[in-house]
Structure 1
Amino acid sequence: MRGVASGILVWLVVTGVAHPALDLTPLSPAVKDGSVFFPPDLVENGRRNCEKYEWARQARDTVVAAAEPWLRMSDDEIWGLMFGPTITRSWMVWSNGFCPACRKPVPMYTWVIDALRLPWKVRCPHCGETFPKNDFYRFYLSGLDERGVFDASRADRALLYNVEHPDPSDPLHRFGVDDGEGWVEGDHRWRFIGAYLIYGQWKQLVLGGLRNLAAAYLATGDGAYAHKAAILLDRVADLYPSFDYSTQAVTYEQRLGSNGYVSIWHDACEETRELALIYDAIFPALGGDEELVSFLSAKAARYGLANPKASLADICRNIEDGLFRDTLRNQHKIASNYPRTPIAAATIMAVLDWD
């Protein structure tokens, strides 16, 4: 019945009748038994085309190359990419700001962020100086609590110094240092880490990693890509319900009450829809992945997670509850320009329970 309801909803979206305020929450969890948007015969045909045609082979090689950085990561490194909601996120470093080093204007989204090549840093597009000047990742690791989430009160504040000027007597010893809440100079605050979390860690390393791993799995059928994606997707699901952009993030240096999850509402809508498609894409590869169950169950035990991850069913339930059923219960977090929200909800419902 719920599969029929999903089909009706898709039709309502197409005909323009659906409204974002509709209650789309599934009545009860269903058992997913296959991919909805990636039929196996079409996926296999695509893989065969990669062997037959040069253009298809080039496309496959492109997505495989894009996924390579994440495939090289250990399972622990993949799991550790996702962060909690305890550091204030910021939609801009400083909306109308300048570089603290060269003093040239760097407004809105012009700071350069390349999380794979320069993790936990943002770079001035003019002088090339990177910020923050402290080793924030080391500081971050020192503050992880028993749940694997950063707690500023636990972090080692002795690490908050400019690593380019380690001498405490150096006048630049504290210059450009960000403890997660920004570098402050007079009345100015640069939220280097707050912006990096969204545009670097989240959009590039987490979402980018999931996107590339899922594409590589679809193109090759190699379960190693799906394995890495499942670890990351499951960890995102552990933490996703705890994100609330309206109370945890700033836009234009203010808490405007804008809804969202990790990102603000319009991006959160598209990101959550994409997460559903990624889960649907890798789902066929998860059956029989005993290493996945072993790894995630060990993490659940170590960090006291409510879901024991003792079986593939546990892992799927964690992903589906944490990412998708939570979204259906909290659609205000993905309320976006019509018809984006009902499209996202329809996609989620189809992925969860398409009969």
Structure 2
Amino acid sequence: MSSFKKRIRETHPEDLTGPQMLAARCLAAGIALTAILAGPPSKAAESPEPNRAGAKTQSTFCHAEVIERLRGNVAGHPRAAAVAKEVRAAAQPWLDMSDADLWSLMFGAGIPRSWMVWSNGHCPSCNQNVLMYAWKIDAMNRPYKLMCPHCEELFPKNDFHAFYHSGLDKHGVFQHALADRSLLYNEAHPDLHDPLHQFGVDDGEGYRDGEKTWWFIGTYLIYGQWKQLVLGGIRNLSAAYVATGDSAYAHRAGVLLDRVADLYTTFNFKDQGVMYEGPAHAGYVSTWHDACEETRELALAYDQVRDALQKDKELSVFLSKKAKQFEIDTPKNSPE
């Protein structure tokens, strides 16, 4: 059972680093879940016939024969049922969110992303070394915060969530020029004359102390908001739909996938990212090697829930309202 758990559990940057993290994400991909729960394919099983016009008409990997076998195994085999139960539990936090809250999880490309807070750095509070990926991030329980693994101080010290929302433009995308900079202060030291008033404050461009820079928010956006909340939500919700057939999971995955689709092409890690305190390379939200896997996971997740989304009129209504509210070019008034 432990090997199955490793394939579907949520990963966190404080648990795994480097190649281990990438391998864990690969194992957690929905196609692996399908293989686990469905068992070996029958000789008669075939992939759906491709549409001659090039349009996608049904799921490629999770077509009807696979899904029927998968859910039959969940109903009839304790090991598959246990995996499905864990998959549902992993998706529950996103199932508990409203559509509006899910939609707002995805962010725009206007804030620089950094691959680490400081590759050879230390904690500003306790001054102990905190290298590479050692900062702790729990986006679901500590949004927009990173924890020092030694003294457990949280950074940044300002309420970045409030600052972020103050800077959203008419498209729901953060713009520095619109944000309320009066919100940029250490919440524990609100007095302007307090010497710690600006200690640990990050406006999205890093907390700076002389020549030192800690990229707290830039790192959080990759490992917290993106990998844990957005991508993690899509992955867990789509897997739960495959395992259960409950359209509520597919609906919520659709909300996230659609908002990612609105913004994904605006990301360019080479121009917007920081890598080892220097220039970055290719990528989207993340650097190139993670971006490759993340894009694959997004495509697989869509394939898993596509058939349910085509029947989801409530999703079309919600997304159409969002498109009008935030002046998004695509009207989204149809499931197609």
Q: Same fold (TM over 0.5)?
A: yes
SS of the residue 1:280 aligns to: helix
Q: Which one of 122, 135, 138 corresponds to residue 98 of structure 1? A: 122
Identity %: 58
Deviation at 1:79, TM superposition (A): 0.3
Give the ranges of 4+ consecutive aligned residues of structure 1 lying more than 4 Å apart after TM superposition.
Answer: none
Provide the rounded CA distance (Å) in 2 between the counterparts of 1:165 and 1:303.
36
Tell me how far apart the structure 1 counterparts of residues 312 and 66 of structure 2 sit (CA, whole Å): 23
Q: Which amino acid letter does the alignment assign opposite residue 275 of structure 2? A: T
1:62 aligns with 2:86: yes
SS in 2 for 1:189: strand
**Aligned equivalents of 1:162 and 1:227: distance in 2?**
39
- Partner residue of 1:283? 306
Is 1:250 the counterpart of 2:274? The answer is yes
TM-aligned CA deviation for residue 44 of structure 1: 1.8
Q: Give yes or no for the alignment of 1:120 onto 2:144.
A: yes
Task: Name the residue aligned to 1:170.
Answer: 194
Letter in 2 for 1:268: A
For 1:149, what is the secondary structure of its paired residue?
A: coil
- Residue in 1 aligned with 2:100? 76
1:167 Cα deviation from its structure 2 partner? 2.2
Aligned mates of 2:227, 2:310 — CA distance in 1: 28
Shift of 1:29: 7.9
Structure 1 gap ranges (5+): 1-27, 314-355
**How much has 1:127 moved relative to structure 2?**
0.5
Shift of the alpha carbon at 1:230?
0.6
CA distance in 2, matches of 1:287, 1:115: 31
1:6-17 pair list within 5 angstroms: none
Paired residue secondary structure (1:153): helix
In structure 2, C-alpha distance between the alignment counterparts of 1:164 and 1:58, rounded to whole Å:
45
Report the equivalent of 2:333: 310
Give, in whole Å, the separation in 2 of the partners of 1:286 and 1:252: 40
What whole-Å deviation, never above 9, does each CA across 1:1-39 have from its counterpart, x for those lacking one? xxxxxxxxxxxxxxxxxxxxxxxxxxx983221110112
The 2-side partners of 1:215 and 1:167 are apart by 48
2:293 corresponds to which residue? 270
Q: Give the distance between the partners of 1:39 and 1:301, measured in 2 at CA.
A: 34
1:192 aligns with 2:220: no
Equivalences, count: 285
User: 1:228 Cα shift?
Assistant: 0.4
Letter in 2 for 1:144: L
Select 1:138's aligned residue among 135, 138, 162.
162
The letter for the 2-side match of 1:274 is: E
- Cα deviation 1:144-180 (Å, max 9, x = unaligned): 0001000011111111011112222222111100000
Uncovered stretches (5+) of structure 2, i.e. residues with no partner: 1-51
Question: Equivalences for 1:197-212 in 2 at 5 Å?
Answer: 197-212=221-236
Query: Within 2, Cα distance between the matches of 1:244 and 1:237?
Result: 14
Distance 1:150 1:30 in 2: 36
Q: Distance in 1 between matches of 2:209 and 2:274?
A: 18
Structure possessing the higher relative contact order (Cα contacts under 8 Å, 6 or more residues apart) = 1
2:204 to 180, 186, 191: 180
Post-superposition Cα deviations, 1:103-131, rounded to whole Å, max 9, x if no partner, equal 00001111111111111011000000010
Give the match's secondary structure for 2:278.
coil
TM-score normalised to structure 1 length: 0.79
> Helix, strand or coil: the match of 1:219?
helix
Residue 239 of structure 1 corresponds to which residue in structure 2?
A: 263
- Residues 223-263 of structure 1 deviation map (CA, whole Å, 9 limit, x = unaligned): 0000000110010000011100110011011114x001111
Please state how far the C-alpha of 1:52 moved relative to its aligned partner. 1.4
Structure 1, residues 261-303: CA drift from partner, whole Å, max 9, x if none? 1111111111111111000000111122111000000111111
Write the letter of the residue equivalent to 1:113. Answer: I
Residue in structure 2 matched with residue 259 of structure 1 by the alignment: 282
Letter matched to residue 153 of structure 2 = E
**Residues of 2 paired with 1:244 and 1:45: CA distance?**
40
Aligned to 2:241: 217
Distance 1:201 1:237 in 2: 16
1:221 Cα deviation after fit:
0.1
Q: Give, in angstroms, the shift of residue 204 of structure 1.
A: 0.6
Mapped to 1, the partners of 2:68 and 2:138 lie a distance apart of: 34
Work out the CA distance in 2 between the residues paired with 1:253 and 1:210.
30
**What per-residue deviation string (whole Å, max 9, x for no partner) do you get for residues 53-110 of structure 1?**
2211111110000000000000000000100000011001011100000000001111
CA distance in 1, matches of 2:72, 2:297: 25
Indicate yes or no: 2:82 matched with 1:89. Answer: no
Secondary structure at the aligned position of 1:184 is classed as strand
Amino acid paired to 1:229: A
